[in-house]
Amino acid sequence: MDEDSRSEDYRLIDSYLDTGDEAALEALVVKYRKEVYLIAYRVAGDVEEAKDITQKAFISAVSELRNFKKNSAFKTWLYRITVNTALNHTRGSAYTVELCETIKSDAKDADTWLIEKQQERHLKTMLASLPPRQRISVILRVYKGLSIAETADVMGCSEGAVKSHYHSAINKLKAAMAALLQGKDL
Amino acid sequence: MKSEHDEIKDMLHEYLHGTLSDEKAALVKGHLSGCDDCAHEVNIAVALLKIVAPDPGAVYFNNLTKTVLSTARANTPKKFNLWKYIFRPIPIAAAASLCLVIYLTIFNLGNFRNSHPKQVQIASNTQNNITRNYVTHHTQNTNIVMDTSATDDTLYSLLMEEDYDDGFTSVYGGYDHDDDSYEE
């Protein structure tokens, strides 16, 4: 499935670069626009900033498309551009947690829903407080389901470094969740 | 060499996203029931996955696609067209003007060379011939010593002081027309 997706991406890229086929480029943008937006949102934590980051990332990717060497999947290359754009965009500005975001829950009981909502908000605050590289390793592994090797490719570091960042982040989140469940203030 | 725990830890996210084979998924499920460390990690990941990002809306995504396409269109380098390049109006006008200037310059220079130098040469030759005749006449008949430093102008002025007809027409093989012995 992944191989099919990868070769389809390569075909679309070649079609656009060789013949200027805009439909091919449009297909690529439509395929990945939601994924890119979600990464941007997870990194920036704000809808408006995520919109700006998504647009900047796509424009950068399209202008650099001729330099794409096909050593990795287009998806991985695009994620790397998105992460770098998001980090540059959010550098110096504090990560904001939107309290008005809608949270899906299967819980039918109101009390359970409130507890879950509180836990998730707490978790989100904790995620926001993580150092950028730890936060990105969690976003790529948990939300995007990337393997250690793919995450290392996106982050531009070794697999060992990814494991280190990821496990540090998970341990911090575990501690925060445990403290919340025990009713401690953090 | 990875332990089974490490191998399963690396597969947890694939398990959560449902991309593992049935066999591996069963292996992970069995491991989770006995490993608190991995179970906690899965709980954290599940809690994180419940945080849903707000949807920016279809309008935003449509506009995004249009913006990206228009930016790409603007940044695409235009293909080089030789015929359009050659037949551009401004270079043609400039080239025609340059050709006209070059042609007129060459034409005028040619006219100048064909007229002035020949007239000067004819006059000079005539004067030189006259001077040579005068010198020959006087060296043979009057035995004057020619001043070799004299210029053509000096000799010409000397000639003008003598009777012109005498000097010019009387030299034929050392005999003078006015000489009586010749007529006899």
Question: Domains in chain A, start-ordered, CATH in brackets?
Answer: 2-90 (1.10.1740.10), 110-181 (1.10.10.10)
Q: What is the pLDDT of residues A23-64, one digit of tens each?
A: 999 999 999 999 999 999 988 888 999 999 999 999 999 999
B120 lies in some domain: no
B135 lies in some domain: yes
If one counts the domains in chain B, the total is 2
Spell out which residues of chain A touch residue B57, defining contact as CB-CB under 8 Å.
none
The pLDDT-based confidence of A177 (bands split at 50, 70, 90) is confident
Spell out which residues of chain A touch residue B44, defining contact as CB-CB under 8 Å.
123, 170, 173-174, 177
Higher local confidence (pLDDT), B166 or B133? B133
Spell out which residues of chain A touch residue B13, defining contact as CB-CB under 8 Å.
141-142, 145-147
Using the beta-carbon criterion (under 8 Å), do B69 and A29 form an inter-chain contact?
A: yes
Q: Report how far residue A30's alpha carbon sits from residue B27's, in angstroms, rounded to the nearest whole number.
A: 37
DSSP string, chain B: ---HHHHHHHHHHHHHTT-S-HHHHHHHHHHHTT-HHHHHHHHHHHHHHH-PPPP--HHHHHHHHHHHHHHHHHHSPPPP-HHHHHT-HHHHHHHHHHHHHHHHHHHHHHHHHHHHHHHHHHHHHHHHHHHHHHHHHHHHHT-PPP-TT--HHHHHHHHHHS-HHHHHHS-BTTB-TT-HHHH-
Helix axes B152-161, B89-141, angle to 10 degrees: 50
B51 lies in some domain: yes
Residue from B15, B61, B68 whose CB has the most chain A CBs within 10 Å, to mutate? B68
Using the beta-carbon criterion (under 8 Å), do A22 and B69 form an inter-chain contact?
A: yes
B81 lies in some domain: no
Spell out which residues of chain A touch residue B73, defining contact as CB-CB under 8 Å.
22
Q: What is the pLDDT of residues B6-43, one digit of tens each?
A: 888 888 888 888 888 889 889 998 999 888 888 888 88
User: What is residue A1's three-state secondary structure?
Assistant: coil
Put simply, whether A179 touches B (Cβ < 8 Å) is: no
B43 lies in some domain: yes
Q: Are A52 and A89 in contact (CB under 8 A)?
A: yes
Q: Which one of B21, B39, B56 terminates a domain?
A: B56
Mean pLDDT of A133-137: 92
Q: Which of the 8 DSSP states describes residue A142? A: I
Distance of CA A48 to the CA centre of its chain: 16
Phi, psi of B175 (to 5 degrees): -105, 145
B32 lies in some domain: yes
User: What is residue A30's three-state secondary structure?
Assistant: helix
Put simply, whether A6 touches B (Cβ < 8 Å) is: no
B152 lies in some domain: yes
Q: Are A75 and A9 in contact (CB under 8 A)?
A: yes
Using the beta-carbon criterion (under 8 Å), do B68 and A143 form an inter-chain contact?
A: no
Helix axes B36-50, B22-32, angle to 10 degrees: 110
The pLDDT-based confidence of A71 (bands split at 50, 70, 90) is confident
Sole residue written with tokens 């030789």: B82
> What is the span of the domain harbouring residue B131?
125-178
The pLDDT-based confidence of A97 (bands split at 50, 70, 90) is very low
Q: What is the pLDDT of residue B162?
A: 52
Q: Which of the 8 DSSP states describes residue A149? A: H
Residue from B3, B9, B48 whose CB has the most chain A CBs within 10 Å, to mutate? B48
Q: What is the pLDDT of residue B140?
A: 61
Share of chain B above pLDDT 90, in %: 11
Q: Which of A37, A62, A138 sits opposite B56 (nearest CB)?
A: A37
Using the beta-carbon criterion (under 8 Å), do B51 and A120 form an inter-chain contact?
A: yes
B18 lies in some domain: yes
User: What is residue A109's three-state secondary structure?
Assistant: coil
Spell out which residues of chain A touch residue B67, defining contact as CB-CB under 8 Å.
55, 59
Q: Which one of B14, B31, B56 terminates a domain?
A: B56
Q: Are A80 and A154 in contact (CB under 8 A)?
A: yes
Q: Is the pLDDT of residue A128 over 80?
A: yes
